[in-house]
Amino acid sequence: MSGNIELLNTTLAAAKAADRAALIAYLPAGFPTVDGGIEAVKAVIAGGADVVEIGLPHSDPVLDGPVIQTADDIALRGGVRIADVMRTVREAYEATGVPILVMTYWNPIDRYGVERFTAELAEAGGAGCILPDLPVQESALWREHADKHGLATVFVVAPSSQDARLATITAAGSGFVYAASLMGVTGTRASVGAQAQDLVGRTRATTDLPVCVGLGVSNAAQAAEVAGFADGVIVGSAFVKAMLDAPDEAAGLAAVRSLAGELAEGVRKR
């Protein structure tokens, strides 16, 4: 079975054709449990998310702030495995038909085996992978297998990325470009800021791929602000926080569905 990069491409193109940004939600697999995590993905899609990123929990997540680290810790203590990540992708995709990506650091893939990982992700209906710490110059093996299995390879660019470096990164990527809106770790911020808009402009000068902005968006007003200059708005910590703050799982699912609805309205007000 081939992966779903084409579904990802058409979903992002449809949002653009509707003159809006796509809403991309991030949730870690295995949080609060594997089953609960699958229900959370379904809930954010029901609320209006166009694309979902499933995080592969990692014990040393260099990009992730305290909220996602807390969720990752809960998932790891619950014994989450790569098989559970694949199951989350499969069940969420089969239930919704929405493109589902995996966001992971490189080390777990390297240990698991690139061919095995890409084959299983494609078989589960996954659309691709976001690889925040894989250097482009070391990505040939991954990209060869991702291409073979119809998976997108999404690289992360940051405000510190020089223009020549941006061109190298975007030439190697597919699906979309993940623009980290600021230096530092993930988390909700009071302001997403001009840095992100500048980065999107510089990135767009190097590629026709959609440019989606993450790190810091937590409410409809910020989503609308970012939707004014980006092709997609990526929200993670705000969803995870809504689950963490809820008194029980049912309340958590209701909270993330409601937040997705507010953010989906926000991205339509560009």
Residue 86 has pLDDT above 90, yes or no: yes
How many domains does one find in the chain?
A: 1
* Cα–Cα distances in angstroms (integers) from residue 228 to residues 168, 201, 212, 224, 225, in the given order: 26, 12, 11, 6, 5
Nearest-Å Rg of the Cα atoms of the chain is 17
- Catalytic residue check, 84: no
Share of the chain above pLDDT 90, in %: 83
Domain containing 33 equals: 2-266
Catalytic-role residue among 39, 50, 64, 91: 64
Residues 6+ apart with CB under 8 A from 166: 157, 202, 203, 205, 206
Name the catalytic one among 53, 91, 120, 225: 53
What's the one-letter identity of residue 193?
Answer: G
Report phi then psi at 53, rounded to 5: -105, 125
By the 10 Å C-beta count (0-12 exposed, 13-18 middle, 19+ buried), 254 is classed as middle
Which amino acid, residue 43? A
Each residue's pLDDT tens digit, 139-187: 999 999 999 999 999 999 999 899 999 999 999 999 999 999 764 444 5
Quick check: is 231 catalytic? no
pLDDT at 62: 59
Tens-place pLDDT, residues 181-239 = 764 444 555 555 678 899 999 999 999 999 999 978 889 998 999 999 999 999 999 99
Q: Which of 98-102, 253-257, 266-270 has the lowest mean pLDDT?
A: 266-270
- pLDDT, tens digit, 9 for 90 and up, residues 48-72: 999 999 999 987 755 667 888 889 8
Across the chain, mean pLDDT equals 92
Q: pTM of the prediction?
A: 0.94
CATH number of domain containing 12: 3.20.20.70
